[in-house]
């Protein structure tokens, strides 16, 4: 597991987002409660400009590990940026301290790749 995480971090470091996404996804498939891998997917989403996806993955990571500093930082940063643009936060933000799954109206069908599949699979 640690080898996959290290390889994913290396891929992120050199901008190979598809590889990083795939590797973090493999970690999550083997260990669905891995908050570090979820935070990695949040970082991938952020690098792709998907702030809503980054926020969602960061919130999932925080649900598993409330002491995850990177997930906390990403969640707060994305929430602030979305609010500043006048965007509504995903429906899960107010329920259960923002850790409940998003409502059905928060569709992820248009998200490409593994990030989209993982978000859709949550339903």
Q: In this structure, what token pair is assigned to residue 119?
A: 């978000």
The reported pLDDT for the residue numbered 16 is 98
Return per-residue pLDDT of the chain as tens, 123 residues: 899 999 999 999 999 999 999 999 999 999 999 999 999 999 999 999 999 999 999 999 999 999 999 999 999 999 999 999 998 888 655 433 333 333 333 434 444 555 555 555 554
Q: In this structure, what token pair is assigned to residue 37?
A: 């891998």
The reported pLDDT for the residue numbered 35 is 97
Superfamily of domain 2-121: Tetratricopeptide repeat domain (1.25.40.10)
Give the residue extent of every domain in the chain. 2-121
Angstrom distance (rounded) from CA 98 to CA 89: 10
Residues in the chain: 123
The reported pLDDT for the residue numbered 92 is 58
Question: If we measure between CA atoms, which residue out of 122, 119, 96, 98 comes closest to residue 44?
Answer: 119
């Amino acid at each position: 597991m640690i080898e996959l995480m290290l390889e994913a971090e290396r891929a992120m470091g050199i901008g190979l987002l598809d590889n990083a996404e795939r590797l973090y996804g493999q970690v999550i498939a083997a260990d669905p409660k891995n908050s570090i891998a979820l935070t990695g997917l949040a970082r991938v989403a952020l690098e792709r400009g998907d702030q809503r996806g980054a926020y969602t993955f960061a919130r999932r990571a925080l649900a598993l590990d409330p002491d995850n500093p990177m997930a906390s930082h990403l969640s707060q940063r994305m929430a602030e940026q979305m609010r500043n643009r006048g965007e509504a936060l995903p429906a899960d933000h107010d329920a259960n301290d923002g850790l409940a799954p998003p409502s059905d109206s928060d569709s992820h069908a248009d998200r490409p790749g593994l990030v989209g599949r993982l978000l859709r699979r949550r339903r």
